[in-house]
Amino acid sequence: MAVCLVDAPRRQALSARYAELVGLKLSGIALHLGQRFDPLDPHSSDKYIADLVDAYLHQLGGWLKQFEEIVRISGKDNADALLWTQAAERSNPQKRHMMTQLSARLEKRSYG
């Protein structure tokens, strides 16, 4: 969906981010983190969620930050809000909490 929300130059940049997942073998990391994210439910502790946010930041933080920047400057109004809405609508409160924490910490952090 993100590819549909960006203009041509940013679509190339976004494509490069996706290729990076494969080229840097980040896809295995993304799969592992996704497997930890999927079971979040009302029984998930705040510590488990915080540890998962830390893992995402440590292992994919730079990639996620670049992805968010590409979408944010996409040239399309509210592209980042639309992606957030899509993700939030498909998530339970614990998953939304985790995504909110991750997003907030990405905003505060810089990656070289």
pLDDT (tens, 9 = 90+) of the chain, 112 residues, equals: 454 555 567 667 767 777 777 666 788 898 899 999 999 999 999 999 999 999 999 999 988 888 888 777 666 667 667 767 777 788 999 999 999 999 899 888 765 4
| Angle, helices 8-23/46-72, rounded to nearest 10 degrees | 140
Q: What pLDDT, on the 0 to 100 scale, is given for residue 74?
A: 63
Please count the residues of the chain. Answer: 112
CB 58 within 8 A of CB 100: no
Q: What is the pLDDT of residue 52?
A: 97
Phi, psi (degrees; rounded to nearest 5) at 47: -65, -45
Amino acid at 32: H
Report residue 105 as tokens. Answer: 């910490």
The per-residue pLDDT for 41 is 97
Q: Residue 68: name the closest of 83, 88, 51 by CA.
A: 83
